[in-house]
Structure 1
Amino acid sequence: MRRRLTVLLGLLVVLGLAAAPGSAAGFGTIDAGGQSREHERLTRAALSCAGAAADPDCFQPVTMDQLAGHDREFGAVGAPDRDELSDPAAHCDDADYLAGVYPHTRGQATAALVDCLNHVRMRFGEGLDSARGLLGPDGEVQPAEVDLTRGCRSREQREDRAKCATLDAFGRALHGVQDFYAHSNWADEPDPARPIGDENPPGLGLPAPSPLLDLRGAAAPDPPAELSTGCFVARDEVPGVGECQLRVTHAALNKDRGQIDPVTGAATDPTTPRGRVGDNFAKAVAGAVTETRREWRDLRSELVARYGTDRGGRMICALTHDDPVNDCAEGNLAAAVAVVAGLAVVALGAVLWLRRRRRG
């Protein structure tokens, strides 16, 4: 009963914000109020075994449900829209800047970007720490720590299963980096029919992944001079009001809403003003998908670097498989690695054979 009330309250909060002129929640988490579960759908396109470019360490269906969300469940990626809505660092907001006379300096904008980066780095680190509990002292998968027969609970409900805690932390990190592409001008372009200004900031048109979002390091970001995210207040509109008066607002810059194919990642039917300019919504989604895959590669690399090849590999298996007790046992894992290695050798041999044939 308590869990249902928590989910209901979260839905009411998100619906309330979605009904407002703008929402700092970023890509959507629910199927209402103009949202179409954008965070869930792009996460599935990036990391699901059903995704268009699934990698060998893709997430199996039940585990993906816990990471991305499903039905009325927010999942780990959607969790910040339930309990971190008021924290701009969780959504990469308030790093707004515009060249010339502007009420928010480049230094203040960069400081807000640093807050976002530090926040998602913290979540990334929490995921690495929580993964330790997946295995026992001899490297065996701990059944109680990977059991998903009851869904993962949210942070405020004191989830202590290692797999759920790791997914929660990693999902929250993904939320922030995905919002970076929806809330910033990193990948987009301005409306060519309107003058550049706080209501139509410049776009950078840059590719993903962004070097600013390296979650493994500790270096401060060095953003392009014109990089901006949107200033957010509860009355989010264009032009800005309150603290966001004369500033680039979330409402002016976000590309949060539209349809995303959860298999291919194809993005269509944008509904926000900035998202409807050119291919801005599709660029934001493509950037977020690419970034999500990069962060998962980096998490795997860090698990191996911290815990060793054998334990790190088994942790990765435990995080992605729905039945890790059986699938990630030492013998099974070694066999899986051997199969992948064998396929790689066969592929390399085929490439070399084709090259020799062409030369001949």
Structure 2
Amino acid sequence: MSRGFNFSSGPAVLPEEVLKEAQAELLEWSNARASVMEVSHRGKAFIAMAEESERDLRALMSIPANYKVLFLQGGATQHFAQIPMNIGFGGSADYIVTGQWGQKAVKEAKPYTNARVAATGEADGFLKLPPRDTWQLDSNAAYVHYTPNETIGGIAIHDIPDVGNVPLVADMSSNILADTLDVSKFGIIYAGAQKNIGPSGLVVMIIRDDLLGRPTAPMANIFKYSAQAADGSMLNTPATFSWYMAGRVFKWVARHGGVAAMGERNRAKAERLYRYIDGSGFYSNPIEKSARSLMNVPFRSPNETLDEKFVKESEAAGLLALKGHRSVGGMRASIYNAMPIEGVEALISFMQDFAAKNG
């Protein structure tokens, strides 16, 4: 068996270099004479690795000193609830909804804050972004939440919205480290690791210091961001292997030119794939061109029968996990940082052959 090109939306492709490093260190890590999965998270070796991974991420993203970096658990979905519990309890919060993950974030927030849908693309089937002049933002809101990249529909907000003095909260699970951005324009950035950072089980959160002082919902310390920040994200045993792998991925990004270089490569991959789709006369992508995702590219053939055939044959050809989300159908190619341009070229070559045989 040989490795295929993995287009899964998450858990997603990891850099092969990082996988080989982990393989070499799996039995004995950092002179510990044991695996990183077997050593204490409070031991000197793990603490040193954890601190180094934070420094590396801070350098990659130019994170200002007045932000804490937390390595948490629960997946981004858990933090749909934890964020309002920590910074919006008893008040109101605005949500910009551009897809299903935004919808879920609103639903999970409602028990803890007055979660208002300030803008939504639902009327257009989430194929377009809601125009900025339709956004009904409240200057007294506790925060404004949005999802810059929606993995299911393949739609993205490419600029950073101006929401005034209200803290901007972004679920960057599928686009963190994918391009440069100004962290200082956000109150919170959070991301499930399993798309651009590492294995599932870890959530990375970047949170501005002043937000840690807000009144919270009644809850255990384990759910309080302030308590996690005070204890170095180690109130309980963290996801040690996922944290270790994240640190390796941070170093891989740095070795390959940093976040700016990732952005250049990601744009090149996406532009190449969209250009072929648009010019093929066989495949289609429904998303408004200015809002197309660089990370998740949905596409369809002329009919569902051919879609099913495409998924089956592409899998046999070593192009993995191209089936679209069950709610939208078709196909979807997730081309995160670790997907090499060779994978995109292999996909396009297969698409050309399939279209020639089935057109």
Shorter-chain TM band: under 0.3
TM-score, normalised relative to structure 2:
0.23
Higher helix share: 1
TM-score, normalised relative to structure 1:
0.23
